[in-house]
Amino acid sequence: MDGRRKRPIIVVDGPAGTGKSTVCSLFAERAGYCCLDTGALYRTVAWLAREREVSLDDEDRLSLLCGDILVVVDEAAGRMRIFADGEEMDRRIRTDETGMAASRVSRLPGVRRALLPLQREAGAAGGIIAEGRDMGTVVFPDADIKIFLDADPSERAKRRYLELTERGEDAQYDDVLKDMSFRDEQDMTRSIAPLKPSGDAIVLDTTRMTREEVVQSVMEIVRSKTAVSHGSSAL
């Protein structure tokens, strides 16, 4: 581990529906880490683009929007808080429409370059678990522990469908599966920071695992890795 950091940087990458957000949030709560949902940054850019009528193909203007985003590491709450236009963004950006738009803007090199310093600054001190799609390959290539969550597409779509319907949203499983497959294709084939596990990542297939089983597996990976690095667990 980097000697300047008191606690590790843990990254969890993977496609939508593998449980990244939930697992990282629960891990952070139980282990006293801060959870960085970096995908929320791209969602915020997409949300701002819609509000300000900026085309999702206008790389220059989208990159400028990144300058209006404020990231606050709330250690007391164990999470990253994102603000824009004086408002906290979390509840505003959690729609499928915004997620699809975020996948589009994330393909743009200018947007990725503009958001990179925000992400790295938020995690510089360590003691974080960061989830996204290129955390281990681009944002934190020197992360102490890298995990890549994966699952069968049909299972991921089922999870997303249940999440939407439980929130009272009108959703159809076939539409969710179609949208997810399209987003996977976008994320995996983009020329800049495509979705893929880093060479030193531990790949964990969550298809037949409960949420609690995934959390426990991640915690065990962290315990074993930090015990090797420090002679004792950092949890």
Tokens of 21: 């957000």
Range of the domain at 50: 9-222
Stretch 83-105: mean pLDDT, rounded? Answer: 89
In a domain, 187, yes or no: yes
Q: What is the pLDDT of residues 166-186, one digit of tens each?
A: 988 888 999 999 999 988 888
In a domain, 229, yes or no: no
Q: What is the pLDDT of residues 197-212, one digit of tens each?
A: 999 999 999 999 999 9
The structural domain count of the chain equals 1
Stretch 71-86: mean pLDDT, rounded? Answer: 83
In a domain, 4, yes or no: no
- Per-residue pLDDT band for 50 (boundaries 50, 70, 90) equals very high
Q: How far, in Å, are 18, 40, 47, 130, 199 from residue 91 at the CA level?
A: 20, 10, 11, 19, 34
CATH of the domain at 51: 3.40.50.300
pTM of the model: 0.83
In a domain, 234, yes or no: no
* Dist CA 34 CA 24 (whole Å): 9
36 within 8 A of 131, measured Cβ to Cβ:
yes
In a domain, 166, yes or no: yes
pLDDT, residue 2, reads 60
* Dist CA 4 CA 1 (whole Å): 9
pLDDT, residue 86, reads 86
Number of neighbours of residue 59 by Cβ within 10 angstroms? 16
